[in-house]
Structures are given as structure tokens and as C-alpha cells.
């Protein structure tokens, strides 16, 4: 599988219709479908460290088993999609097509590759922000707190907890769904919440900045139990049937007992954890009822929507400045031609 330059998924997404490409990645989903004539075709998603690429594989595509260094023809009907393809490395040759003004992708040749030569760690998407920089920022934020909150946070963000928190994704698909994603999202929420809190404090509001910081840093700790890297972001059974908000409060309650956090502070921070989604229909059992909880909820929602804006794609109708409808954010985004230009700074 050596013909042509190997592209990343992000490079493929920049190609024009009619372009050919070659990608090496891992299969994160593969499903058999049937056309109106009952002929099978496949829908496959392949991921690398730059993101994912969804493609169709028509019945005339060629499949090869190259796991032992040979090029042996395969019949896809005989493949166990879950055992032989899911979370396995593949090489694909494909073509960019266009449908209603929107780029689509098809894989014309699929090679099953040796997992020892192409370990899945090569294809794990990671935060674009260096993890060392994020850990340094986390420590600087904690240092801004006074006692007893500072001591409590120092105890929490260490050892096995910190190792898990550092690597965890923030979601399976909606936002920051990659290694170090939870840390990246948490810092963005904390940054925004601190800015809001300081603005309201300057205006005379009674806001406890330590509680805002602690609530921001801890608001999504339930995701450590709700999601896993197996090896790609996936939902756990507890995450599916309980959800990260109650899981997070349960974990927080154990931490407060372990580190003897004062009941008043524990109640204020705990309220942020259970209310941070802002609405009951979004999973919060209660609504934000304190200035600190209102601020963290607003910062969390804003970071989610800003991420969706950044990741949104062009409208299928070819409106270059307006995105297609984003179901999670419940809107279409306007990506102005001068966004991030002379009057702004592009994000990392």
C-alpha cells in the first residue's frame, strides 16, 4: 500500500471534488447497508490523530488482507465487522465526491493492516494544546485560591485521579472528544468563569471566586466514570444509564469525605456540579441558584457552543459563510469571512 502520499483526514477534508486520496487510520465504525436493489454497500468511519472521515464503500470496491505482508483479496461479506474491522488499522484509497454542494467521500480500496506495525496509539486524536501547558495552567489556577479550597483542590488533582483526568475525553462525539479533551474543556470553562466572576465582582456582586474556580474545575469529573478510552472515546454502562452529572456528584461526595472539606464549601461546590447544564431537560436535576452556579453554567454552555462553531462545516447548499444545521447546538452558525481576522485572534 505504497502508492501516493499518505494524507491525514484533515488534509482530505480540504480536497476538492474529484480528488483522490490515501489515508491510514483505525476503523471506529463499520456498518453494512443495502441499496434499493438489495445490493450491499458499507458505511465506514476511519480516524487518525487529526480527526475522522466518514465514507461509503460501494459493492465494486476492492478489499485486501495485508496483515501478513501479503496482498490477499478479501470478500467483505465474509468479514466479521465487529471482530476484524472495529478498532483495527486500515489503509484506504478513496475519492472525494460532491452531493448537493457538499463534499462526500468513498473508499475504493481497503487494506487490512498489521496491528503491530500500525498500533492504535498512532491514530488517537489528541488536544491541539500541549498537555504540559494545560497542566501548568491548572496549577496556576489552583494557586489563585485561598484555603481551604486550595488545599482541597491540591489533594484532588494528584495521583491516579490526575492521571485519569489528564487523559480523559470530554465527550464521545459532541465536543472535545479526544485524549486530553476533558482537561482542555475544563480549563476553558474555568478561564471563562473566572473572567465572568471578576467582572461581576468589579460591579459589586457578591461572588465567591474560590467556589467558582473549584466548581469549574470539578464540574465534569463524572465524565471519568461516564466515558472511557477503549481505545477511542466511548460511553461506559454507568455513563449510559446514570449519566455524568450524578456520577460526578457521587465522586465529589467521596472526595469531600476523604479530604474533609467544610460542609458549607462542599454544598456550594456540589450545587454547581448538579446544576451546571442549566436546565432540567439538559440533565441537571436542579437549576443554578447561586451566582457561582449561574456563572459556571454560562461558561460551560459558552465553551460547548464555541467549540461547535469552530467545528461546524459548510452548508450543503453551498452558503460559504453559513454552516449546515448543528443538531446538538440547535442552530446554524455564521462563519463570517473575516472571522479571526485583523480585529480578532484565531484560537489554537
Predicted confidence (pLDDT) per residue in 279-301, tens digit: 998 889 999 999 999 999 999 99
Angle of helix 181-202 relative to helix 209-218, nearest 10 degrees, comes to 160
Calculate the CA 29 to chain-centre distance.
Answer: 16
Q: Among the three residues 92, 123, 154, which one is the final residue of a domain in this structure?
A: 123
Full residue range of the structural domain in which residue 49 is found: 9-123
For residues 27 and 68, state if they share a domain: yes
22-64 per-position pLDDT tens digit: 999 999 888 999 988 888 899 999 999 888 899 999 999 999 9
The answer to whether residue 329 sits within a structural domain is no
The answer to whether residue 334 sits within a structural domain is no
CATH code, domain carrying 106 = 2.40.50.140
The answer to whether residue 65 sits within a structural domain is yes
For residues 71 and 21, state if they share a domain: yes
The answer to whether residue 1 sits within a structural domain is no
Per-residue pLDDT band for 206 (boundaries 50, 70, 90) equals: very high
- For the record, the C-alpha cell of 166 comes out as 489528564
For residues 162 and 298, state if they share a domain: yes
For residues 222 and 78, state if they share a domain: no
- If one counts the domains in the chain, the total is 2
Tell me the average pLDDT across 307-325: 71
Burial 123-157 (b: 16+ CB within 10 A, else e): bbbbbebeeeebbeebeebbeebeeebbebbeebb
259-285 per-position pLDDT tens digit: 989 999 999 999 999 999 999 988 899
Residue 316 confidence (pLDDT)? 46
Higher pLDDT, 332 or 151: 151
Higher pLDDT, 98 or 298: 298
CATH code, domain carrying 278 = 1.10.3210
For residues 145 and 288, state if they share a domain: yes
For residues 110 and 150, state if they share a domain: no
Tell me the average pLDDT across 164-182: 92
In whole angstroms, what is the distance from residue 35 CA to residue 102 CA? 21
Proportion of the chain above pLDDT 90, given as a percent = 67
For residues 146 and 284, state if they share a domain: yes
Residue 69 confidence (pLDDT)? 87
pTM of the model: 0.79
Q: Is the pLDDT of residue 317 over 50?
A: no
The sign of the CA dihedral 189, 192, 195, 197 is negative
Burial 78-108 (b: 16+ CB within 10 A, else e): ebeeeeebebbbbbbbbbbeeeeeebebbbe
Amino acid at each position: 500500500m505504497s502508492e501516493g502520499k499518505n494524507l491525514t483526514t484533515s488534509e482530505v477534508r480540504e480536497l476538492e471534488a474529484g480528488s483522490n486520496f490515501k489515508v491510514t487510520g483505525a476503523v471506529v465504525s463499520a456498518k453494512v447497508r443495502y441499496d434499493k436493489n438489495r445490493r450491499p454497500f458499507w458505511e465506514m468511519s476511519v480516524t487518525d490523530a487529526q480527526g475522522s472521515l466518514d465514507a461509503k464503500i460501494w459493492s465494486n470496491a476492492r478489499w485486501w488482507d495485508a496483515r501478513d505482508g501479503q496482498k490477499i483479496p478479501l470478500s467483505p461479506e465474509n468479514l466479521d465487522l465487529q471482530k476484524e474491522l472495529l478498532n483495527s488499522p486500515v489503509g484506504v484509497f478513496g475519492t472525494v465526491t460532491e452531493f448537493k454542494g457538499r463534499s462526500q467521500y468513498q473508499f475504493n480500496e481497503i487494506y487490512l493492516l498489521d496491528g503491530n506495525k500500525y498500533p492504535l496509539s498512532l491514530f488517537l486524536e489528541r488536544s491541539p494544546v500541549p498537555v504540559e501547558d494545560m497542566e501548568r495552567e491548572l496549577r496556576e489556577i489552583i494557586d489563585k485560591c485561598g484555603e481551604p479550597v486550595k488545599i482541597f483542590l491540591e489533594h484532588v488533582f494528584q495521583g491516579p485521579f490526575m492521571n485519569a483526568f489528564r487523559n480523559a475525553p470530554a465527550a464521545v462525539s459532541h465536543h472535545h472528544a479526544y485524549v486530553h479533551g476533558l482537561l482542555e474543556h475544563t480549563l476553558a470553562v474555568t478561564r471563562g468563569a473566572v473572567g465572568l466572576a471578576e467582572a461581576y465582582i468589579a460591579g459589586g456582586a457578591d461572588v465567591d471566586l474560590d467556589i467558582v474556580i473549584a466548581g469549574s474545575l470539578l464540574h465534569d469529573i463524572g465524565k471519568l466514570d461516564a466515558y472511557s478510552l477503549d481505545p477511542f472515546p466511548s460511553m461506559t454502562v454507568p455513563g449510559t444509564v446514570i449519566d455524568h452529572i450524578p456520577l460526578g456528584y457521587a465522586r465529589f461526595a467521596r472526595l469531600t469525605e476523604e479530604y474533609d472539606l467544610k460542609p458549607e464549601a462542599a454544598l456550594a461546590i456540589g450545587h454547581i456540579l448538579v446544576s451546571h447544564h442549566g436546565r432540567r431537560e439538559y440533565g441537571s436535576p436542579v437549576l443554578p441558584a447561586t451566582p457561582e452556579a449561574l456563572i459556571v453554567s454560562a461558561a460551560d454552555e459558552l465553551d460547548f457552543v464555541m467549540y461547535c462553531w469552530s467545528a461546524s462545516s459548510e452548508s450543503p447548499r453551498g452558503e460559504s459563510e453559513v454552516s449546515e444545521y448543528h443538531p446538538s447546538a440547535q442552530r446554524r452558525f455564521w462563519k463570517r469571512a473575516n472571522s479571526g481576522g485583523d480585529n480578532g485572534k484565531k484560537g489554537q
